Amino acid sequence: MGIEKPEDRSQKSVTPPNPPLGKGGHGGGNLSVNIASLKLKNPVMTASGTFGYGEEYSEFFDLNRLGAVVVKGLSITPRQGNPTPRIVETPAGMLNAIGLQNIGVRAFIKEKLPFLRQFRTPVIVNFFGDRIDEYIQAAEELSNADGVHAIEMNISCPNKQAGWIVFGTDPKIMEQVVTAVRKTTNLPLIVKLSPNVTDIGLMAKVAENSGADAVSLINTITGMVVDVKRRRPVLANNTGGLSGPAVRPIAVRMVWEVYKAVKIPIIGMGGIMNASDALEFLIAGARAVAVGTANFVNPTATIEIIEGMERFLKEEGLSDINEIIGSLKIGS
C-alpha cells in the first residue's frame, strides 16, 4: 500500500501568474507539474549556486527546455564570499564553502534578469540574509522585479550565520523569518530546508504553517576535510557543505519524511546525477527536482534527465509524471 495521500496536497492555485510555459514532453507523456501557482513544463530545475545566473550554461543548451532556472543565492547587499580553497572533492561528493558570494539583489535585477527574461522558463530566485530585515528587503525587491516567478529562501546555508543564529535549524527562528517574508510577497514562496537537523519533517511543517507554498531540500550537509600534513582543514572556511551522489540516500530519505509531514509540494535535490536518481525523489514524494553538482560533471545533465523521464513514462506505459509522485509503496 502506498503512503496515504493527504487530501489537499495538490496545487493551491491553478491560475499561473505568468503565461503558460509551453507543453510538457515530446515523448507523449505529460511532464508538467505545478509548484503552488507555478506551472512547470517539466519537473527539472537547477539547484541554486550550481548554475550561476544562467548565462554560463546557456552556452551548452537551450534554457527554454528547463522546468525552471534557480539562480545563485542573493542578498540585499553584495557579498565577496570566502577565501580559497573553497572546494574540495570527497568520495562521490564535494564540499563547498563559497561563502555566498553574490552581486546583490539590485545588480541581479539590473544586470542578470534581462538575460533570463528572454526565456520561456520560470526564474526562481534564491535569497538569504543575515537578519530578518535583510530577508524582508530582498524578498520585497525581488517581488517587484519583472521576470521573477518564485522566490526560494535559503535559511539553511551552513556557511553564514547571524551571530549564533542558524535560521534553518531552530523551529522558532525559522517560523519568525518565514512568517515575515510571507507577508511581504505574493510570489510563490519556497523555503529551502537544511538537512543538518534532527527532524526535517518538523521543520517542513513549521515552514508550511508559516505560509510557505513549497519546501525544497536538501541543502548541503556540513562537513570537513583535514589536510593531514598541514594539520589544517583543507577549506579556508574550515567546514563546507557536502553535495553530490554521496548524500543522495540521505536526501531521498528526508524527502520521504517531509512528504509524510506536509501537504505543500516538495522540490527534492541532493546528488541527482541522472533520470533514475531524479525518479527516486519523485517516487519518494517530490513534485519537482533540482540538479546541482551534476551540472559540474555534465553540463547537459538536466536535459538528459528530462529526456530520461520521458523515456521512463513511455517504458512504464504512463501518461503523466504526476502519477508517480509520492507513489512509493512501503511495507510488504
Partner 1 sequence: MPKNFKANITENILLNEHFRLLNLSPLSDIIVPEPGQFYMLRTGDTYDPLLKRPFSIFRHEDNTLKFLYRIRGKGTLSLSNLKSGDIIDVIGPLGNSYSAPEGDFIAIAGGIGIASLLPLLRRFKKRAYLFYGARNKDELIMLNEARSLSKEIFITTDDGSEGEKGLITDSLSDFLNPSRITHYALPIYACGPTPMLKELSKVVAEYPSSLLPLNKGRMGGVKCYVSLEEHMACGVGACLGCVVKTVSGYKRVCKEGPVFDIEEIVWE
Ligand X SMILES: Cc1cc2nc3c(=O)[nH]c(=O)nc-3n(C[C@H](O)[C@H](O)[C@H](O)COP(=O)(O)O)c2cc1C
Site of interaction with ligand X (CB under 6 A): 47-50, 72-73, 96, 98, 100, 126, 154, 157, 192, 219-220, 243-244, 247, 269-272, 291-294
Q: Which does 219 bind (CB under 5 to 8 A by kind): partner 1, ligand X, a copy of itself, none?
A: ligand X
157, three cell numbers: 546555508
328 is catalytic: no
Q: Are strands 221-223 and 69-74 parallel, antiparallel or unpaired?
A: unpaired
- Which of 6, 17, 27, 85 contacts partner 1 by CB under 8 A? 85
Are the C-beta atoms of residues 143 and 151 closer than 8 Å to each other?
Answer: yes
The rounded distance, in Å, linking the Cα atoms of 251 and 316 is: 25
Query: Of these partners, a copy of itself, partner 1, ligand X, none, which one is at the site of residue 327 (CB under 5 to 8 Å by kind)?
Result: a copy of itself
Which residues in the 267-306 window bind partner 1 by CB under 8 A?
A: 273, 293, 295-300
Closest to 309 (Cα-Cα) out of 267, 275, 266, 269: 275
Q: Is 63 in the site for partner 1 (CB under 8 A)?
A: no
> Minimum distance between the CB of residue 235 and a copy of itself, rounded to whole angstroms?
10
Residue 61 binds which of ligand X, partner 1, a copy of itself, none (CB < 5-8 A, kind-dependent): partner 1
Angstrom distance (rounded) from CA 6 to CA 142: 32
Q: Which residues make Cβ contacts (< 8 Å) with residue 177, sequence separation at least 6?
A: 132, 135, 153, 155, 167
Q: How many CB atoms lie within 10 A of CB 187?
A: 22
Residues forming contacts to partner 1 in the complex (CB under 8 A) are 49-52, 55-57, 59-61, 72, 80-81, 83-89, 91-94, 96, 98, 101, 244-246, 273, 293, 295-300
Active site residues: 157
